[in-house]
Amino acid sequence: MSCDQRLIVALDVHNMETVQQLVEQLGDSVSYYKVGMELFYSVGSQVITYLRQQNKDIFLDLKLHDIPNTVGQGLATLTQLGATMLNVHASGGFAMMQAAARAVKNKADEMQVQRPKLIAVTILTSMNADEWSALGYNVDLSQQVIHLSQLAQKAGMDGVVASPQEAAQIQAVCGNEFIIVTPGIRPSGAAIDDQSRIATPARALKNGAHHLVIGRPITAAANPRQAVKDILQEMRERA
């Protein structure tokens, strides 16, 4: 089974044994993995070293959100790990995103390595309209996703994380080169879990997503390799 760079499998587990089992089981069918808070807080940078040894691309998803200096310094450190892509929260603001972009570029230049892509999370895919309005913003959720995407682009981000439901609008205003990463992907019939703004893999790709982040529909499946195979099939047939 050949892999597809558009699929990023979220390794939301908390020990190296499970990581190794999954990566071995998925073999050549997956070339891109996401390491998030659960795994990174549990095992630290050894997972990055391991995935690099396996020649995998890595999205290190730690969603930094703090004052510009703190985020910049944190990202400079993370840049040294050699991940393919890093992220921050767009709601940290324009100056924070600028500081983030600058810090990653400076560190990569200093180390003479390829600069990791840096993307901004717009509004979490778990959030629905009711939860959004409870936060007190007087703007439509999807409008805010578009606004944050434009702000992120202006601040020098390479792309955004958004739901597949907003991908088409983001592409329309930010262009084809701007990377759109969509979690909230559920193959038809799969459990929705804590996600809200979801779509199938095929729909997400049609809407313009460059990468699909998929976790539990693969990692919690009885047969993760078969789950990947089915998802890849769906991506190819209907994309």
Ligand X SMILES: O=C(O)c1cc(=O)[nH]c(=O)n1[C@@H]1O[C@H](COP(=O)(O)O)[C@@H](O)[C@H]1O
Pairing of strands 117-121, 179-182: unpaired
The binding site for substrate comprises 12, 34, 61-70, 125, 186, 195, 215-216
CB of 109 to ligand X, least distance (A): 26
Of the candidates 63, 105, 117, 229, the residue annotated as catalytic is 63
Tell me: does residue 99 bind ligand X (CB under 6 A). Answer: no
Instruction: Kindly tell me which residue out of 193, 226, 236, 238 binds ligand X, with binding defined by CB under 6 A.
Output: 193
List strand residue ranges (DSSP E) for the chain, in order.
Answer: 7-10, 32-35, 57-64, 85-89, 117-121, 159-161, 179-182, 211-214
Annotated catalytic residue 63 = yes
User: CB-based contacts of 35: which residues, under 8 Å, 6+ apart?
Assistant: 11, 47, 48, 51, 58, 59, 60, 61, 83
When the beta carbons of 121 and 204 are compared against ligand X, the nearer one is: 121
Residue 125 vs 165, nearer CB to ligand X: 125
- Nearest-angstrom CA–CA distance, 110 and 121: 27
Give residues 119-148 in contact with ligand X (rule: CB under 6 A): 121, 124-125
Q: Which stretch binds ligand X (CB under 6 A): 65-73, 105-113, 147-155, 214-222?
A: 214-222
Tell me the catalytic residues.
63
